[in-house]
Amino acid sequence: MPSSADAWSLWTDRFSEFLDAQAANADAAHDRAHVERVVTTARQLADAEGAQMDVVVPAAWLHDCVVLPKDHPNRAQVSQRAAEAARAFLEGEGYPEQWIPDIEHTIAAHSYSGDVVPETTEAKVVQDADRLDALGAIGLARCFTVGGALDQTLYHPDDPFCDDRPPDDDMYTLDHVYAKLLRLPDTMQTKAGRTAAQKRAGFVRSYLNQLASELDSV
């Protein structure tokens, strides 16, 4: 068990090297910076919720070790693929085997599209940490980055804020805010996660209000 700072540093180096080997498959919204933010947030939530760091930290580092584009037909399977890849890596590196099944479950359960229910505190923590990175200022930046990469139109010209139509986030980037982002606070699994999500969602709503004001003046 990585009980010391030195041991965690060694494992962090191994996680980092493994992710570097997978970097060609990453996209701009699931890059190293995203992973590091999720690790930091997951540690904070784990402290608040009393979760096992030996599960949370590796799962947070490896949760996106397999990435598929948003429009890929197998996108719903990506968290399970990442869980399997992480298990193989950890077993090969000699990570303490008693934690590996929970790490695998934690990674499998993190995805919004994967439809795997988190059954442990650790899985709830990592799921919340990943979803928090889709909210707030960084979440909006990631949303627009993905929309640009997919060559989407920024917003519907006649109904930017989905007032009289269902969101279509395959066509319009801003619709993703309504299709997913503003729904995330209701999916949070931990008390600390819910508190943080409400704060970040408040920023998203403030942005939408500002955007509405600017569009009204055009």
CA distance 170 to 176: 8
**CATH numbers and ranges of domains, the chain:** 1-116 (1.10.472), 134-218 (1.10.3210.50)
Exposed (0-12), middle (13-18) or buried (19+): which is 99, by Cβ within 10 Å? buried
pLDDT of 73 reads: 56
CA distance 152 to 82: 27
In the predicted model, residues of the chain with pLDDT beneath 50 are none
The string of pLDDT tens digits covering residues 196-216 is 999 999 999 999 999 999 999
Contact call for residues 79 and 109 (beta carbons, < 8 A): yes
pLDDT of 28 reads: 73
Q: What angle do CA 30, 196, 104 make, to 5 degrees?
A: 45
The string of pLDDT tens digits covering residues 147-175 is 998 899 999 999 999 999 999 999 999 99
Contact call for residues 174 and 146 (beta carbons, < 8 A): no
Q: The whole model's pTM is what?
A: 0.90
Q: What does the radius of gyration of the chain's CA atoms come to, in whole angstroms?
A: 18
What is the DSSP-derived secondary structure letter of residue 91?
A: H
pLDDT of 87 reads: 95
CA distance 136 to 193: 13
CA distance 90 to 44: 23
Give the amino acid at 55: V
pLDDT of 215 reads: 95
64 token code pair: 């996106």
pLDDT of 74 reads: 64
Q: What angle do CA 75, 77, 82 make, to 5 degrees?
A: 105
pLDDT of 42 reads: 98
25 token code pair: 């498959």
CA distance 177 to 144: 10
